[in-house]
């Protein structure tokens, strides 16, 4: 692995945060939050506004369904020294959603 890849071991040792790690995996996988996402940006913003930084106010069943629908992401986890898993996919999607909610200058959704 190249030196600029954030690895799972760096995350586990505390060298990078949960958010930094899963954002890097999402970038490698090419995952972005968009209008076609099964979870709306307004829901994410509301959860964050309510103090729910982990987005647990949004049903895990919905996150799981979105995570199951992803194809060809195993390579991204492998590139970061990790294994593809449903839990990892959900963490990645939640980070993508958090980042979009914090940086998007778009409307309510």
Q: Is residue 54 part of a domain?
A: yes
Q: Is residue 3 part of a domain?
A: no
pTM of the predicted structure, to 2 decimals? 0.91
Which one, of 49, 33, 39, lies nearest residue 96 by Cα? 33
Q: Are 24 and 91 in contact (CB under 8 A)?
A: no
pLDDT tens per residue, range 11-31: 999 999 999 999 999 999 999
Q: Is residue 2 part of a domain?
A: no
Q: Is residue 109 part of a domain?
A: no
Q: Give the total number of structural domains in the chain.
A: 1
Q: Is residue 33 part of a domain?
A: yes
**pLDDT for res 4:** 78
Range of the domain at 66: 8-103
| 56 pLDDT more than 80 | yes
Split at pLDDT 50, 70, 90, the class of 85 is very high
């Amino acid at each position: 692995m190249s030196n600029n890849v954030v690895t799972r071991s760096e995350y586990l040792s505390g060298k990078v945060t949960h958010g930094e790690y899963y954002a890097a995996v999402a970038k490698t996988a090419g995952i972005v939050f968009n209008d076609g996402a099964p979870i709306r940006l307004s829901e994410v913003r509301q959860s964050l506004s309510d103090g729910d930084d982990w987005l647990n106010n949004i049903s895990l069943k919905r996150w799981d369904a979105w995570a199951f629908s992803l194809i060809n992401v195993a390579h991204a986890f492998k590139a970061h020294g990790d294994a593809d898993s449903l839990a990892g996919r959900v963490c990645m999607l939640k980070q993508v959603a958090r980042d979009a909610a914090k940086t998007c200058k778009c409307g309510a959704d």
